[in-house]
């Protein structure tokens, strides 16, 4: 298996623009998580899905952020409009059973909003 | 709110030295995971500990879960430059799959 695949690896955008981050989880993994990592705040959980259904989105910063999982093999995280404070590395992770097997993380998308 | 505190925050040692890093919480862990993250990559799972007092070994790495399940340690024997990275502990908020991560210990092993 190719692991969790995220695209793009790097994204530079201007403030106010829409940004879409993409994730392909490992086949057979029922759980999908979106995290954001910064030096100041570390890894923060934004939202997670189970069987394509959003279970908890309490970590989503505000209405500018939205996430979808239209099927078991694809998820998106959208920021509209983007702001400089959204600059971070965004990780997608998937799991078959988080407690017993942990997460498999993608390589992340480094977002810079100027 | 459950918080995971890791110490030390930074550690720089010479190749061949031993080291221990710690993960502590004021709450009881249902289980705890350790990850290592290298620059430009996502964290990679090293181990999951579940039972109080549990000890797991992974080559030169020894993981211990406190008897009260409120703390954990990672001990590395004879550190190598390849051990360099950010070590993170993670635990789920009780009754959920919301895993929170500690702030991490950034380890650098010098050749």
Instruction: Write out pLDDT tens, residues B37-60.
Output: 999 999 999 999 988 899 999 999
pLDDT for the residue A97: 85
Would you give the DSSP letter of residue A98? H
Contact B98, A45 (CB under 8 A): yes
Residue B2 has pLDDT above 80, yes or no: no
Q: How far is B16 from chain A (nearest CA, A)?
A: 29
Q: How far is B35 from chain A (nearest CA, A)?
A: 9
What single string gives the DSSP state of each residue in B15-34? TT--EEEEEE-SS--S-EEE
Tokens of B37: 């993250």
Q: Tell which wins on pLDDT, A32 or B95.
A: A32
Residue with tokens 């999951």: B48
pLDDT for the residue A47: 96
Q: Spell B21-51 as b/e; 16+ CB within 10 A means b.
A: bbbbbeeebebbbbbbbeeeebbbbbbbbee
What is the Cα–Cα distance from A35 to A60, expressed in whole angstroms?
A: 10
Which helix (H) or strand (E) segment is A101 a member of?
helix A98-101
What average pLDDT does the segment B79-97 reach? Answer: 91
pLDDT for the residue A62: 83
Report the share of chain B in percent with pLDDT over 90. Answer: 75
Q: Left if phi > 0, otherwise alpha if psi is -120 to 50, otherwise beta: which for B70?
A: alpha
Residue B100: list chain A partners with CB under 8 A. Answer: 45
A39-45 own/partner pairs: CB under 8 Å, 24+ apart: A42/B101, A42/B102, A42/B103, A42/B104, A43/A91, A43/B43, A43/B88, A43/B101, A45/B98, A45/B99, A45/B100
Residue B90: list chain A partners with CB under 8 A. Answer: 102
- From B33, B40, B41, residue closest to A102, measured CB to CB: B33
Residue B68 has pLDDT above 70, yes or no: yes
Residue B30: list chain A partners with CB under 8 A. Answer: 99
B1 pLDDT tier (thresholds 50, 70, 90): low
Closest residue by Cα to residue A44 from A54, A57, A55, A31:
A57
pLDDT for the residue A99: 82
Query: What is the rounded average pLDDT for all residues in chain A?
Result: 95
Q: Most A CBs within 10 Å: which of B31, B43, B89, B94, as the mutation test of the A interface?
A: B43
| Polymer length in residues for chain B | 111
Closest residue by Cα to residue B81 from B55, B60, B101:
B60
Closest residue on chain A to B38 (Cα):
A107
Counting as low any pLDDT under 70, the low residues of chain A are 1
pLDDT single digits (tens) A48-74: 999 999 999 999 988 999 999 999 999
On whether any CB of chain A is under 8 Å from the CB of B85, the answer is no
On whether any CB of chain B is under 8 Å from the CB of A104, the answer is yes
User: In this complex, do A108 and B30 lie within 8 Å of one another by their Cβ atoms?
Assistant: no
User: In this complex, do A101 and B100 lie within 8 Å of one another by their Cβ atoms?
Assistant: no
């Amino acid at each position: 298996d190719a692991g969790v695949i995220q695209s793009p690896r790097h994204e530079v955008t201007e403030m106010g623009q829409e940004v879409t981050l993409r994730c392909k989880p490992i086949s057979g993994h029922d759980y999908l998580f979106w995290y954001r990592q910064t030096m100041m705040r570390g890894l923060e959980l934004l939202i997670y899905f189970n069987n394509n259904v959003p279970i908890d989105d309490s970590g989503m910063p505000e209405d500018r952020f939205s996430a979808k999982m239209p099927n078991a093999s694809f998820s998106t995280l959208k920021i509209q409009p983007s702001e400089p404070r959204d600059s971070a590395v965004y990780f997608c992770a998937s799991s078959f059973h988080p407690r017993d097997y942990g997460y498999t993380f993608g390589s992340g998308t480094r977002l810079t909003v100027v | 709110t459950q918080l995971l505190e890791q110490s030390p925050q930074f550690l720089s040692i010479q190749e061949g030295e031993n080291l221990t890093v710690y993960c502590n919480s004021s709450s009881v862990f249902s289980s705890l995971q350790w990850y290592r993250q290298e620059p430009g990559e996502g964290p990679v799972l090293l181990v999951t500990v579940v039972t109080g007092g549990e000890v797991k070994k992974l080559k030169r790495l020894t993981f211990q879960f406190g008897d009260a399940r409120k703390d954990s340690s990672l001990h590395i024997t004879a550190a190598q430059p390849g051990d360099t990275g950010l070590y993170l502990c993670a635990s789920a908020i009780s009754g959920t799959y919301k895993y929170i991560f500690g702030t991490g210990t950034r380890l650098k092993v010098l050749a």
